Amino acid sequence: MLHLILGRSGSGKTTRARKLAVELSKRAKEDDKIIFLVPEQYSFETERAFLELAGAGGSQRLEVLSFKRLADHVFRLHGGVAGHRLDDCGRTVLMGAALEQLKPYLKLWGRHAAMPDFIGEMLSTVKELGQSVITPDALRKAAGRADGALSGKLTELALIIDTYKTLAARMYADPLDDLTRLAEKLGETRFFRGKTVFVDAFKDFTGQELNIAKHIIRDARDIYITLCADPWDQSTDGFNLFAPVSKTLNRLKLMAGEQGVKIAAPEKLPSGGRYKCEELKALEAGIFSSSQLTVDNLQLNQPPTDSVTPAPLVKAAKCRICEALPQAANSEGNLNSASADSG
């Protein structure tokens, strides 16, 4: 079942997910670990938090992984780590060799093939397309729908990537493709079958990560995903502050629906928990809102008119906030008192 924990910044999503993971781990079987998936930079912080919440014994039933560490874990269990690992220097050499081979066939890119900057641009393009799971075949299909120079550039780009990948695959395993190989391996092994998984602190997901999420949603007994979004406003128009997150939310729901996975009613956390200062709390809640926001008879985001300009309002709001922060700092002893624990 797919469980969604929604809330704005500072609403306590991470705290809620961690406490729930600890509760579930206490009821889990001895060998049944709870997997807690976070961005790489949050792994140490999360492990330390679980040590404080569950103690040394309880935290052993909670396995904190990033997508990179998950790939390494699955490959070690089910194979996939064989081969020399490709690094930046190796990529540069292989891309140079691919461009040199293709130079006679590149009508649009040929004159740039020997330029070091072009090699770097091609490698950046390969990385970005790989993260978005855009294959050379997809580029060729797009070229068929395009006209003129764009069609030619897409066709040649597909040829360059194919040649580069072929050269690399002869001797190397590229770490940039680990998540793509992981998604394939998860399809074969059903690694997440029967497991409980938490996915926390991600602002968005790459195409590679979404492919992995699809396997987790399909196979896991329960998956809990926290998303930084307004629980009561999930519109996807370009004017909504959380429109990109809402689009990701809809994609996750669509994945669950396509695979027949039930979706629990989302847990909606109220905003403002991070801020003890009322002015900051109100400002966070409404500064990007299209509706008018008033705090102590001060209209913070009144739209400009011929007779009213926003400058005085912004200046007044700034003064109120600057006054409030030192007061909050003095009451607690430091500026961090203006906010509660992050979530």
Of all residues in the chain, what percent carry a pLDDT higher than 70?
81
pLDDT at site 299: 53
Q: How many CA atoms lie within 13 A of 49 on its CB side?
A: 21
- pLDDT band at 336; cut points 50, 70, 90: very low
343 in a domain, yes or no? no
Amino acid, single-letter form, for residue 153 = K
Q: Do the domain assignments include residue 309?
A: yes
Q: Are residues 54 and 131 in the same domain?
A: no
For residues 116 and 126, what is the distance between their CA atoms, to the nearest angstrom? 16
pLDDT in tens, 160-213: 999 999 999 998 999 999 999 999 999 999 999 999 999 999 989 999 999 999
Same domain, 75 and 194: yes
Residue at 200 is within a domain:
yes
Whether 121 and 149 have beta carbons less than 8 Å apart is answered as no
pLDDT 10s digits, 115-138: 889 999 999 999 999 999 999 999
Q: Please, what is the average pLDDT of the chain?
A: 85
| One domain for residues 105 and 147 | yes
Q: For residue 337, name the pLDDT band (cuts at 50, 70, 90).
A: very low
- Report the CATH number that the domain containing residue 255 is assigned in CATH: 3.40.50.300
Expressed as residue numbers, the domain containing 310 is 278-338
Where among 157, 173, 189 does a domain terminate? Answer: 173
Residue 328: which pLDDT band, with cuts at 50, 70 and 90? very low
pTM, 2 dp: 0.82
Contacting residues for 117 by C-beta, under 8 A, at least 6 apart: none
- Pair (123, 261) in one structural domain: no
Do 166 and 198 share a structural domain? no
Whether 319 and 183 map to the same domain: the answer is no
Asked, for residue 110, whether it belongs to a domain, the answer is yes
Question: Lowest-confidence range among 33-42, 74-83, 333-342?
Answer: 333-342
Q: Given this model, what pLDDT does residue 274 score?
A: 74
Q: What backbone phi and psi angles, to 5 degrees, belong to 218?
A: -70, -45
Q: How many domains does the chain divide into?
A: 3
Cβ neighbours of 331 (radius 10 Å)? 10
CA angle 219, 258, 213 (to 5 degrees): 45
Question: Is 255 part of a structural domain of the chain?
Answer: yes
- Do both 191 and 237 map to the same domain? yes
Under 8 Å between Cβ of 187 and 215: yes
Q: Could you tell me which residues are beta bridge partners of residue 228?
A: 7
Do 94 and 169 share a domain, yes or no? yes
Average pLDDT of 288-309? 53
7-40 residues labelled b (16+ CB within 10 A) or e (exposed): bbebbbbbbbbbebbbebbeeeeeeeebbbbbee
